[in-house]
Amino acid sequence: MKILVVDDEPISLASLGDLITMLGYEPVLCEDASVALKHCAETYYPVIITDVCMPGIDGLELLERVKKTKVTSTSDVIIITGHGEIDTAVKALRLGGYDFLRKPLDARELAAVVERSVEHQALLLENLELSQHCDRRIQEATTDLQRDLEDMREQFRRVTGVGSIVASSLCMRQIITDARLYHANTDVPVLIEGETGTGKEIVARLIHHGEDGFKAPFVDINCSAISENLFESELFGYEAGAFTGSDRKGSKGKLEAAAKGSVFLDEIGDLPLHIQPKLLRVLESRTFYRVGGLKKIPLEARIICATNCNLEKMVEAGTFRRDLYHRLKIGYFNILPLRKRKEDIAPLAQLFLTEEARAKKKRFRVVSRAALDLLKAYPWKGNVRELKNVIERAVLVYDGDELKTEHLAFLAPRQEGNIGRGLSFGLFDLAEMSLPDEPFDLDIFLSELKRQIVVKAVGQFDNNKTQAAKFLNWDRNKIYRLLGE
């Protein structure tokens, strides 16, 4: 996406251009507001960033003329002001400016404002298309903006160390919102449940890092990978001579090493039973002792736990303490499997394709619509991790501008004894389908099969035709016609 930047100071203009480029956008630089207006007459720029104090046409006049022009009336204009120009900024907002930034510019503040602006522009496009009742055109019109937004988010997360996280689905957007909330409350323990591969550690890192580039340590422990006999000293540390073979100077444990950061206890369901009451006491008193120690050490770190087990069932079975479970569940996240949040498949696939193509120096730029349909129909028992591995394999083996279904042929299971491959799309397996002995009318068969699939989809969404249409990637009016309504 192109962003128009207007500033009469060459050094400042160049710096802004570099920042916009780092965020993944294409800056168009202008030192003269009159030249910028000519650009606006020829090209639509969703986002325009302009300085206020310029000779000739200043930033406020540029804003007024942009907003009065039909082509650019919906553009978001971000004003740059110096210190002591708050009145000017307020006037700019009254004239229709989207937001303002104070000099000297802060890269993080610029990233946040541009992200909000891109989201706003995406919503404007969606509202325009929704008014015409055309879901297909919405998807096509907003693809570039959504991709740019995800690219920018990825760049921002790389800076803060969070990693790749996609939040197209409502449930994931809520998780990100809650993660930011818990980031500000270090005393609250957090429990993250979800199947293997759903991204529990990435959410844990988001809770830790937040949006302000939190630099305190993130110390992770895999509870299933540590011997039960060593777990206590690993977690709490030990004093000199605490046990045979211990370091003569003693050693800090993970709770102490994390300082004011975070301790991430992965696979908390495998935490030894005899350690569970000790961890509970630490959470309640916010203090602990080293093994063999007498000095009480304050707990400064936040505790984040994750598991792919159902802890509630483990509590009922007596393999996990009920009091610890309820204590950990003060901050609770349940990450749905990828098959239950299909809205995230397309942006995740595009994100992984971009990353792998860049890493492996391939030409892939976009996932074809047919390939996306195949990916959305696949069950993804390995969740996001499996999707990433699938894209990585396809990019490793093939090359091209577009990722196509033939590049994903390995997703179809091989059927022994049959020639070729069967395609499984979750609803039925074509390789297992048997044909009747007698001749039959294929068109009638396909028509009835289509009707039954639509009926099943409508029933799955409690007779909500709109939701069923989105699920089937079909026009809602076709569903009404097929059902005779």
More reliable by pLDDT, 462 or 233: 233
The pLDDT score that the predictor gives to residue 468 is: 84
* Highest mean pLDDT pick, 77-91, 364-378, 434-448: 364-378
Identify the CA nearest to 234 among candidates 248, 255, 249, 213.
255
Q: Average pLDDT of 410-429?
A: 49
Domains of the chain: 2-147 (3.40.50.2300), 174-336 (3.40.50.300), 340-432 (1.10.8.60), 442-483 (1.10.10)
The pLDDT score that the predictor gives to residue 159 is: 39
Report the percent of the chain where pLDDT is more than 70.
84
Does residue 158 surpass a pLDDT of 60? no
Q: Average pLDDT of 184-211?
A: 90
What are the tens digits of pLDDT across the range 7-36?
Answer: 888 888 888 888 888 888 888 999 888 888
Q: Average pLDDT of 87-96?
A: 81
Does residue 132 surpass a pLDDT of 70? no
* Angle between helical axes of 442-460 and 465-472 (0-180°, round to 10): 120
Predicted model pTM: 0.54
CA-based angle 170:176:179, to the nearest 5? 140
Does residue 233 surpass a pLDDT of 80? yes
What are the tens digits of pLDDT across the range 440-464?
Answer: 677 777 777 887 788 888 877 777 8
More reliable by pLDDT, 356 or 128: 356
